Amino acid sequence: MKTHHLQTSMRLPIAPEEVFPLFGDVINLQRITPPGLDFRILTPLPIDIRKGAIVDYRFKLLGFLFKWHSEITVWEPPHSFLDMQVWQLTVVGAPPPFLRGVWRNGDLRQRSVPAAFVAFW
């Protein structure tokens, strides 16, 4: 299985101590996700975010259900964290309209895609 890596950075005109609580609280991800994606945090709240914490999420897009498992592998507030993720795609029922005509039943049921998100200040 191919592993994909994504590394991004962002500069904000405020101190890390002020912005870190925004990124460090998983409930904010649910708050900023558009309602049409039906995003949910599956891990019972509140979640004690620290090194080794595990969080499970899901959302829906174009008839696909995406689930992912996230582990905090580095937690150094207020400066950085590393969030390692494993994604799973589950397709239930008929294909979405954009795939009709090119989809064969059973072509895609589940796929796991390792991914990583890194945030550093």
d(CA 20, CA 14): 10
Q: pLDDT of 58-102, one tens digit each?
A: 988 887 788 888 899 999 998 888 888 877 666 555 555 555 554
**Among residues 88, 84, 74, 69, which one has the least CA distance to residue 115?**
84
pLDDT confidence of 5, banded at 50, 70, 90? Answer: confident
Task: Provide the whole-model pTM.
Answer: 0.63
DSSP three-state, residue 97: helix
Under 8 Å between Cβ of 33 and 60? no
> Most confidently modeled of 2-11, 36-45, 101-110?
36-45
Burial of 57 (0-12, 13-18, 19+ CB in 10 A): buried
Q: pLDDT of 24-54, one tens digit each?
A: 888 988 888 899 899 999 999 999 999 999 9
Torsion of CA 100, 4, 9, 60, to 10 degrees: 30
Higher pLDDT, 112 or 120: 112
**Among residues 78, 81, 37, which one has the least CA distance to residue 55?**
81
d(CA 32, CA 51): 24
pLDDT of residue 115: 39
pLDDT of residue 14: 85
